[in-house]
Structure 1
């Protein structure tokens, strides 16, 4: 039969995949649907994540409950080229029923690595096929594919990492496991700065041009007198007046906050939006980095579940049988039977997780160990456990990150203001017509008094003109002095602002370096504590099992002594045979104990190597963050130097322009004085 994914639990996606939604928003990377991740990872009878073969051993291997080497060699991970083996007895009736022995041989479908437990850490997915044609009733040589789970579990987090580590390109051109980010969907952090700089340039243009237009108007006169009103030249005065008001409005609307004289209000808001956006991405990536190491590979969760089932089988099945000796003609037959509390069930006790991102699971009975439908339930439970780790960690972090950006970018926080013109609704044509009408009315009223006031007006104008010349000269000198003081003030403020930003950048870099160092030290201590706790827990379990085995051995010995009283002669022969077997068993145990110690030493070395690899990765990430902070600081210094040079050049240009204008005014005043003197003569 073909691979059947219809038995895969159908609520893996939930109502809304917050993790995939957030990663798509922040990076443009489109994660596959969570519901479809495991459709290509089913074994025989549609069992998720594994193939299961229930075999009949053909005999009963009576297990010494004190022989922990037997458990290590016959049950759990990597047993005789099989990924996971669970041996068990089966009884058709209740207590005292005959038992038969079986094995559940399990092949995991996914990234297992070379050790006894599935590999941790991210790796690309791909296709792999069975080497056995028609194995376990599956058609041909079935092919499985881990690409989709790898893209979801690892590609999403690596897209966040690319966005953080490559601010100039971001996720443009990013691809992982053959799934690219579409160019229109890519996100680049430096684009925030590009837009902010555009607003800064516009604000600078309006600010500088408004001063030029204001100077034009000052030359024409800030009030529209009779010399301009009602004439074609008056339209030019209106034009300069309107431009001055509009540019002044624009400059005010885009003025940066505080005492800053450079940049723009809109540019500052966009830079703050970028900062909040990047912090949210960094928080999300930090949670993913921890999650992918613990739970990214779903086989890690499945292995935890299978180990819990094996523990239940050991306590309630393998250690819950005994034997009885019955006469059969001239010899005796040994029958193996179930004891009280014997169970045929595949079940787990409550799993209580410890440490960060702990996974806890309630006790559950999956069904009869011999039935394949039971293992369908086991596989689906592993998928739901994996889904729980996603919801408890990735989905929660995604909601927090999206909320942070939403709050930062809300209207109450992200205020671009409004850039608009005010009080300039009239057109030049309408203003010109209104002035002509007003002048006609004023002229009619003034004609009667014009003749009488003509002589007085001429004398007054002469005196006023002489005073105006004096005032203009004084005003020019005052304006020159004011502009010089303003220029010196702005230069001092720009220098102070540059020094402040440099200090802030230096302090921020030092703070990030300290935080990165502290985080690395904390991770190292946490890893050491976890290793110590795990070792202590293993020793406690070993000691408990040894005590339990001793108690059971004592009980078994009492039963054997009772049966020896009933058949003393036969038992004497059996005792001699048992002594011989005991000697053989002790020799075998000694050999197995040595092998066990060697295997444990190998596992310890592998764990130390993985811990060293994780520490190296943390140190590498710390170095990347330090280099990035250093680069940003250097860029800030370069940008500040460029801005200071530009401000200085602009100031020198303005001073030269003011000087030229002053000289022009003086020449114009001299020319008017000469003309006036000529008229007087």
Structure 2
């Protein structure tokens, strides 16, 4: 089995496509149209400047659904040191990172994104968020599309459910704007129909063999009182040939296979080898569809990239205590009205870190872009680990089942009686000619014997006639002599 951890092949897509006909978008394209300003994945970030004077409670603000925004992170920034760590005593400006997470569902009081959300997927155009710069003033209004992601992360499970459980078909299935084409749907009960067709073929051969046996036992052809002639004799050979072959076909079709199921998903008992092999494949496909659906249920908690992003933003917000909030001092400005300012202390850093990894200064849009990319990467890795692994295993098991089905169909039905009707006719004609020749010879022999008999009878009659004539002559001589004697 291919090891999903060693490559980027999307076996989840391959398995879902194959099992359902619900053709998923490529996983690598899911976030192409899910970006905010400056190409930041999954979010739009605007950063208004809030002043340089000290404001109590500044760092305690922010978080989820703050100031009518999905996530807000307060941070300090040295005005002239955007990308470096300022020296202690440097006056710091107050900034906010207003983050709109794209593709969340619900109203203003919604909870943070979760894998248990059920997004429908749609195309959106913002009415106030621009696609250029940190100040939300430049460019066009952003557009994003969550439909491909929803189809991949949720539509796939709905499609698998149709195969794993009744009605065992994806025909007519449509979800989140994606439909199964009529030429691509999968109907597991069609395996039953094909299997039953083979069972009907077995019954046909069984019934045919029985009828042919009845005919084969009757007097047909030469020597029969009811049938006579070459055609009838040839028909008799044909009947005998069909008896032997139909019995052979039945035996071959009823043969066993290495894997077989005797009852289909819809409860039909199956008797032929191809039908049982198809029922086995049917059961394996259904089971693998269920296995994939169960794998999706186990992965569902991780199914939302927005939830991955939310977790990263939470961690980034918390780690700002270590990088900034705990490393500032207060300083009174000069002049009659000495305003209080926040200044950098030792250890202050203009850096967003998450789990110890540096992503860049909070004032830089490329930092938030890197965080968005990390959320996508973590989501993608999770999908590869959970879904693609399950998909690869399902594909291998189904391929094994289909190889067994192929074996059940490998051999052609072979004839027990391999003589063709032309061979039978030729042999029958030769036999008839031989018999005719023998009959002619027999007739000539009988005719000759009859002539010999007649000649013999004629010879014997001639001899009898000669004997009778001799006797008559002798009698006449004796009579004449007697008369002579009397006359003397």
Q: Normalising by the residue count of structure 2, what TM-score does the alignment of the two structures yield?
A: 0.75
Q: Distance in 2 between matches of 1:229 and 1:433?
A: 18
Q: 1:434 and 1:178, CA in 2 relative to 1: closer, same or farther beyond 3 A?
A: same
1:286 and 2:294 are equivalent in the alignment = yes
Report what 2:234 is aligned to: 235
Give the drift of 1:308.
Answer: 1.4
Evaluate the alpha carbon distance shift between residue 229 and residue 370 of structure 1 in structure 2; reply closer, same or farther with a 3 A threshold. same
- Structure number with the higher strand fraction is 2
Deviation at 1:310, TM superposition (A): 1.0
Following superposition of structure 1 onto structure 2, how do residues 548-567 of structure 1 map, counting pairs within 5 Å?
A: none
Structure-1 separation of matches of 2:146 and 2:347: 41
Distance 1:146 1:206 in 2: 57
Query: Which whole-Å deviations, capped at 9, do the CAs of 1:478-513 have from their partners, x for residues lacking one?
Result: xxxxxxxxxxxxxxxxxxxxxxxxxxxxxxxxxxxx
1:360-399 matched pairs, under 5 angstroms: 363-399=356-392
Name which of 75, 99, 110 aligns with 2:62: 75
Q: Residues of 2 paired with 1:151 and 1:104: CA distance?
A: 31
Distance 1:132 1:329, change over 3 A: closer
Structure 1 counterpart of 2:393: 400
Q: How does 1:653-664 map to 2 (within 5 A)?
A: none
Residues 581-628 of structure 1, C-alpha deviations (whole Å, 9 max, x = no match): xxxxxxxxxxxxxxxxxxxxxxxxxxxxxxxxxxxxxxxxxxxxxxxx
**In the alignment, which residue of structure 1 is the partner of 2:113?**
118
> What CA distance in whole angstroms lies between the structure 1 residues aligned with 2:315 and 2:366?
18
- Structure with the higher helix share, 1 or 2: 1
Alpha carbons 2:278, 2:405 under 8 Å: kept: no
Superposed counterparts of 1:236-635, under 5 Å: 236-255=235-254, 257=256, 263-292=271-300, 294-323=301-330, 336-349=342-355, 363-411=356-404, 415-416=408-409, 418-438=411-431
SS at match of 1:245: helix
Rg larger in structure: 2
- 1:144 deviates by 2.6
Equivalents in 2 of 1:412, 1:272: separation in Å?
8
Paired position in structure 1 for 2:214: 215
Following TM superposition, by how much is the alpha carbon of 1:404 offset from its aligned partner in structure 2, in angstroms?
A: 1.1
* Offset at residue 211 of structure 1 (A): 1.7
1:278, distance to aligned residue in structure 2 (A): 0.2
CA offset at residue 61 of structure 1? Answer: 4.2
Task: Tell me how far apart the structure 1 counterparts of residues 20 and 270 of structure 2 sit (CA, whole Å).
Answer: 32
Query: What secondary structure does 1:57 align onto?
Result: strand
Is 1:161 equivalent to 2:161 in the alignment? yes
Per-residue deviation at 1:231?
A: 4.1
> How much has 1:290 moved relative to structure 2?
3.1
CA offset at residue 330 of structure 1? 8.4
Counterparts of 2:129 and 2:40, CA distance in 1: 18
Distance 1:315 1:425 in 2: 89
Determine helix, strand or coil for the equivalent of 2:348.
coil
Cα distance in 2 for partners of 1:344, 1:156 equals 43
Cα deviation, residue 201, structure 1? 1.1
SS in 2 for 1:347: strand
Q: Extract unaligned runs of 5+ from structure 2.
A: 1-6, 263-268, 447-488
8 Å CA contact 1:320–1:338 kept in 2: the answer is: yes
310 and 19 in structure 1: CA distance in 2 versus 1, 3 angstrom threshold: same
Check whether the contact 1:125–1:177 (CA below 8 A) recurs between aligned residues: yes
Q: Give me the whole-angstrom Cα distance separating, in 2, the residues matched to 1:253 and 1:182.
A: 37
CA 174–234 in structure 1, closer or farther in 2 if over 3 Å, else same: same
> What residue in structure 2 maps to residue 655 of structure 1?
none
CA–CA distance in 2 between the matches of 1:51 and 1:384?
18
Deviation at 1:271, TM superposition (A): 0.8
Aligned residues: 412
Q: Retained in 2: the 8 A contact 1:295–1:386?
A: yes
Aligned residue number for residue 353 of structure 1: none
- 1:28 and 2:24 matched: no
Alpha-carbon RMSD: 3.3
TM, length-normalised to structure 1: 0.55
What's 2:50 paired with?
Answer: 57
Partner of 1:146: 146
CA contact (8 A) 2:129 2:136 kept: no
Partner of 1:38: 31
Does residue 97 (structure 1) correspond to residue 90 (structure 2)? The answer is: yes
What do residues 281-326 of structure 1 show as CA deviations (whole Å, max 9, x unaligned)? Answer: 000011112323x133321111011111112112221111123568
Q: Is the 8 A contact 2:52 2:91 kept in 1?
A: no
2 CA distance for matches of 1:125 and 1:379? Answer: 19
Alignment match, 2:450 = none
C-alpha offsets along residues 335-357 of structure 1, whole Å, 9 cap, x if unaligned? 533233221111211xxxxxxxx
Give the 3-state SS of the residue equivalent to 2:217 in structure 1.
helix
Q: Deviations over 1:166-218 (max 9, x none)?
A: 326x2111111222111111111211111111111111111122122122213
CA distance in 2: counterparts of 1:53 and 1:39, whole angstroms? 21
Cα deviation code 1:375-409 (max 9, x no counterpart): 11111111111111111111111111111111122
1:132 maps to 2:128: yes
